[in-house]
Amino acid sequence: MKPRYKKYLYIVPASLFSFLLGAAVVKFEGVITKPMVESAGKIIGLDFTDAERDSMLSGLNDRLKSYEEMRKVELDNSVPPAILFNPIPVGMKFETKQKPFVTSSSSSIRMPENIEDLAYYSIGELAYLIKNRKVSSEALTKMYIGRLKKYGPRLECVITLTEDLAIEEARQADKEIAQGKYRGMLHGIPYGAKDLLAKSGYKTTWGAMPYKDQVIDVDATVIKKLHQAGAVLAAKLSMGALAWGDVWFGGMTRNPWDVTKGSSGSSAGSASAVSAGLLPFAIGTETWGSIVSPCTVCGVSGLRPTYGRVSRMGAMALSWSMDKIGPICRNVEDCAIVLRYIYGPDGIDQTLYEVPFNYDYRISLKGLKIGYLKNDFSHNYAFKENDARTLEVLKSMGAELVPVELPGLPINAISFILDAEAAAVFDDLTRSKRDGLMVRQIKDAWPNVFRQSRFIPAVEYINANRIRYKLIQQMDKMLKGIDLYVAPSDEGDNSLATNLTGHPLVVVPNGFTKEGLPTSITFVGKLFDEGRIVAVAKAYQDKTGYHLKHPKLNL
- Does a structural domain hold residue 274? yes
Domain carrying residue 224: 115-410+467-548
Distance CA 425, CA 76 (A): 9
Please state the φ and ψ torsions of residue 158, each to the nearest 5 degrees.
-115, 130
How many other C-beta atoms can be found within 10 angstroms of the C-beta atom of residue 288? 28
Instruction: Look at the chain and count its residues.
Output: 555
Return all residues near 522 (Cβ < 8 A) that are at least 6 apart: 292, 486, 487, 488, 489, 494, 505, 506, 507
Beta-ladder partners of 511: 519
How many other C-beta atoms can be found within 10 angstroms of the C-beta atom of residue 7? 29
Please state the φ and ψ torsions of residue 19, each to the nearest 5 degrees.
-70, -50
CA atoms within 13 A on the CB side of 398: 9
Beta-ladder partners of 371: 402, 485
Measured between its terminal Cα atoms, the distance across the chain in Å is: 36
73: helix, coil or strand? coil
How many other C-beta atoms can be found within 10 angstroms of the C-beta atom of residue 59? 10
For residue 185, give the nearest of 129, 112, 120 by alpha carbon.
Answer: 129
* Number of compact structural domains in the chain: 1
Q: Is the dihedral of CA 321, 322, 326, 331 positive or negative?
A: positive
Counting runs of H as helices and runs of E as strands, what totals does the chain give? Answer: 18, 15
Q: How far is CA 149 from CA 204, 278, 478, in A?
A: 19, 9, 48
Burial bucket for residue 366 (CB in 10 Å: 0-12, 13-18, 19+): exposed
Distance CA 279, CA 192 (A): 7
Convert the pLDDT of each residue in 32-69 to its tens digit. 999 999 999 999 999 999 999 999 999 999 998 999 99
C-alpha dihedral (547, 549, 551, 553), degrees to nearest 10: 120
- Does a structural domain hold residue 451? no
For residue 204, give the nearest of 255, 246, 248 by alpha carbon.
Answer: 248
Q: Is the dihedral of CA 509, 319, 243, 43 positive or negative?
A: positive
Distance CA 329, CA 457 (A): 40
pLDDT of residue 1: 39
173: helix, coil or strand? helix
Q: What is the pTM of this model?
A: 0.93
- Does a structural domain hold residue 174? yes
CATH number (domain holding residue 324): 3.90.1300.10
- Does a structural domain hold residue 422? no
Return all residues near 395 (Cβ < 8 A) that are at least 6 apart: 401
Distance CA 312, CA 320 (A): 9
Note if the bond before 266 is cis, omega within 30 degrees. yes
- Does a structural domain hold residue 536? yes
- Does a structural domain hold residue 68? no
pLDDT of residue 3: 43
pLDDT of residue 17: 37
286: helix, coil or strand? strand
pLDDT tens for each residue of the chain, 555 residues long: 344 434 433 333 333 334 333 334 445 556 899 999 999 999 999 999 999 999 999 999 999 899 999 999 999 999 999 999 999 999 999 999 999 999 999 999 999 999 999 999 999 999 999 999 999 999 999 999 999 999 999 999 999 999 999 999 999 999 999 999 999 999 999 999 999 999 999 999 999 999 999 999 999 999 999 999 999 999 999 999 999 999 999 999 999 999 999 999 999 999 999 999 999 999 999 999 999 999 999 999 999 999 999 999 999 999 999 999 999 999 999 999 999 999 999 999 999 999 999 999 999 999 999 999 999 999 999 999 999 999 999 999 999 999 999 999 999 999 999 999 999 999 999 999 999 999 999 999 999 999 999 999 999 999 999 999 999 999 999 999 999 999 999 999 999 999 999 999 999 999 999 999 999 999 999 999 999 999 999 999 999 999 999 999 987
Q: Is the dihedral of CA 222, 228, 231, 233 positive or negative?
A: positive
Distance CA 455, CA 17 (A): 7
- Does a structural domain hold residue 488? yes
pLDDT of residue 5: 39
Q: Is the CB of residue 370 less than 8 Å from the CB of residue 486?
A: yes
Q: How far is CA 397 from CA 49, 526, 534, 544, in A?
A: 65, 21, 16, 11
Q: Is the dihedral of CA 56, 58, 63, 68 positive or negative?
A: positive
How many other C-beta atoms can be found within 10 angstroms of the C-beta atom of residue 481? 10
Strand runs (DSSP E) across 172-255, as ranges? 190-194, 232-237, 247-248, 251-252, 254-255
Q: Is the CB of residue 124 less than 8 Å from the CB of residue 334?
A: yes
Convert the pLDDT of each residue in 151-176 to its tens digit. 999 999 999 999 999 999 999 999 99
For residue 319, give the nearest of 408, 196, 444, 175 by alpha carbon.
Answer: 196
387: helix, coil or strand? helix
pLDDT of residue 555: 75
